[in-house]
Amino acid sequence: MIRSVIAWLGLLVVAVVNGGIRETWIIPATGELAGHAISTVMLCAAILAFTWSVRGWLRPASRRQALQIGGLWLALTLAFEFLAGHYLFGTPWQRLLADYNVCRGRIWVLVLITTALAPIVVRRSSASPLARE
């Protein structure tokens, strides 16, 4: 699982870069709501691409292990978002929770779903038909 944590740190870098691009270029060009939506889709694609790039290094031995990696990544992401977001960066809880309000057009939950499922999706798509479980 050490490799999974190291890989997640890479995902964290990808997410920070995505956030920088969103705040610097996307939101000024499209507005807040559209900027967050575009950034969310971009981050989902980047998560899948990153997971694809580290698939040989992670080498989940089974479908179950790929799901465990995704679960770990999800837990680390949520812990970082809420604990670091609030206690380290001082973001109010209300603002952190606003990203989960799908009724207001916030689709951040897609990033969490992608994060959790990326290892199994990539494992399944890169395995030979005989190796799939």
What confidence score (pLDDT) does residue 130 get? 42
Residue 112: closest CA among 40, 60, 37: 40
Give dist(CA 101, CA 109) in Å, integer. Answer: 9
At 125, the pLDDT band (50, 70, 90 cuts) reads confident
Per-residue confidence (pLDDT) for residue 19, from 0 to 100: 94
pTM of the entire structure? Answer: 0.90
pLDDT at 133: 45
HSE, CB side, 13 Å, CA atoms: give it for residue 107.
Answer: 16
Per-residue tokens: 26: 């996307």
Distance CA 30, CA 122 (A): 31
CA distance 2 to 19: 26
In angstroms, rounded to a whole number, what is the distance separating the alpha carbons of residues 117 and 120? 6
Q: Is the pLDDT of residue 73 over 50?
A: yes
